[in-house]
Every structure is written in structure tokens, then in C-alpha cells.
Amino acid sequence: MPVKRTWLAIVVLAVISLLGDFICRLQGDSAGHDKLMQTAGERVHLLPDRIEGWRKAQSEPLTEDVLRMLQCREHESRVYVDDRTGESVTLILLAGKAGPLLAHTPEVCYSSVDYECVEPAHPETIRGTGDSANAFNAGASRRGPGWLPIIHD
């Protein structure tokens, strides 16, 4: 009898898990998700031009191929320069579906644009308005003479 109960519990747990997954997938394609993506897309471009001694030096759009691969709704790609040291940092902010964005890891991203990873990617929690989301952070530096700054994703 105890073996039968164990199997029954496992089957019930599996059914509940699959049902929960199905419900989450339905909600992921809902109007609420579309509204969230629209709001995120509108706010991507609200980055400040100056951040405590760092100023926006340039803003470059991503190529159509990259946008298609990442399935981005909106993006902002900027280079900020430290007024005191001259160091630069590249910031790319993307708004889109999690799947394609998460599959494009920092190692893949950096190596495709002439950067070299100098530390492995690791999960990091991003906090804002009380919500949190997991992201990957990796250090990289540009290949070639004269480029030593550390870049974080």
C-alpha cells in the first residue's frame, strides 16, 4: 500500500506541475504581457545623458540582424565616458521576450563584437521598484591596442 500511495503522489504532483506550466504559458501571451512589453519599450530610451561624472559619448543602434535574432521590441546602445579618467563603458539595454535574450549570453554577445571575456558570467539580482529579476553579469574588455576598460553587461 505505501508504494501505491507514493506513486499516486508522484502522478498528482506531475499533473499539477504540468497544469501550472500550461497556465503560466497562457498568461505569458496575455494582454498584460503585451502591455508590460510596450511600457518597457517606451522607457528604454529614458536613460540619462549624465550619470555621476559619466557622460553619454555616443549612441549607436544595433544592426537589423542582431535585432531580429534577439527579437527586441526596443533597445538603447550607448557609450558613456568618465570625465575624470577618460574610461569608457558600453551599455546596451534591451526590451523583448526573455527566451531569445537569455539564450544570447554575455560570452556570445561580447565575442561577436570584438570583446574578450575577462571573467565568467554569473547570475546577479537587479532591484528597482521593489521587483527583482535575475540577469547575467560578465566582465569583458575590447580586443586590440590601447583598450583596457572593463565592460559589464
**pLDDT tens digit sequence for 2-31:** 666 667 777 667 667 766 666 666 665 566
CA atoms within 13 A on the CB side of 81: 8
The model's pLDDT over 46-105, given as tens digits with 9 standing for 90+, comes to 888 888 888 999 877 777 887 788 787 788 888 889 999 998 887 778 887 777 776 667
**Contact at 8 Å (CB) between 136 and 105?**
yes
Close Cβ partners of 142 (under 8 Å, ≥ 6 residues apart) = 114, 115, 116, 149, 151
What is the rounded CA–CA span in Å between residue 107 and residue 115? 9
Q: Please tell me whether the overall predicted TM-score, pTM, comes out greater than 0.95 for this model.
A: no
